[in-house]
Amino acid sequence: GAVVSQHPSRVICKSGTSVKIECRSLDFQATTMFWYRQFPKQSLMLMATSNEGSKATYEQGVEKDKFLINHASLTLSTLTVTSAHPEDSSFYICSAQSLGVRVAGDNEQFFGPGTRLTVL
C-alpha cells in the first residue's frame, strides 16, 4: 500500500517548450502533495507544497510562474515547467501525504520514483 507514481519517468525536450509531470497516489487519497527538485549529488530541495483544491505554497526562490502546480484531485498533482531551459534540467520528485495511511495518527510522506527532465 501507499504507492505514489510519477509520469513520465524520463523526458527530453527542446528549450522553450513546456513539460508536464504527473504525480498520482494510487491507493490512498492525499490531502497534501509536495514537489522536490534534486541536483546531482545534492539533497532534495522542497519546491512547493500543494493541498487539494487550493493554491500551492512555494518555497523562497522558486518561481511560481515558471513551475505551475495544480492539485485538482485527492489523487493527482501536476507540475508544469513552463518555457523550459537547460538550467531547469533536473530530477523532480513528488510525495503525497495523508493522515493515518500506514500508521494510525501518523502523517508520513510517500514518495514517487522521480522524473528526470533534460532540456536541450
Partner 1 sequence: GNSVTQMEGPVTLSEEAFLTINCTYTATGYPSLFWYVQYPGEGLQLLLKATKADDKGSNKGFEATYRKETTSFHLEKGSVQVSDSAVYFCALSFSGGYNKLIFGAGTRLAVHP
Interaction site with partner 1 (CB under 8 A): 4, 32, 34, 41-46, 49, 93, 95, 97, 107-114
> At its nearest, how many Å lie between partner 1 and the CB of residue 118?
18
> At its nearest, how many Å lie between partner 1 and the CB of residue 111?
4
> At its nearest, how many Å lie between partner 1 and the CB of residue 107?
4
DSSP 86: G
* Cross-strand bridge partners of residue 92: 37, 115
Q: Which is nearer to partner 1, 78 or 115 (CB)?
A: 115
CA dist 113 and 11 (Å) reads 14
Nearest Cα neighbor of 80 from 38, 120, 111, 48 is 48
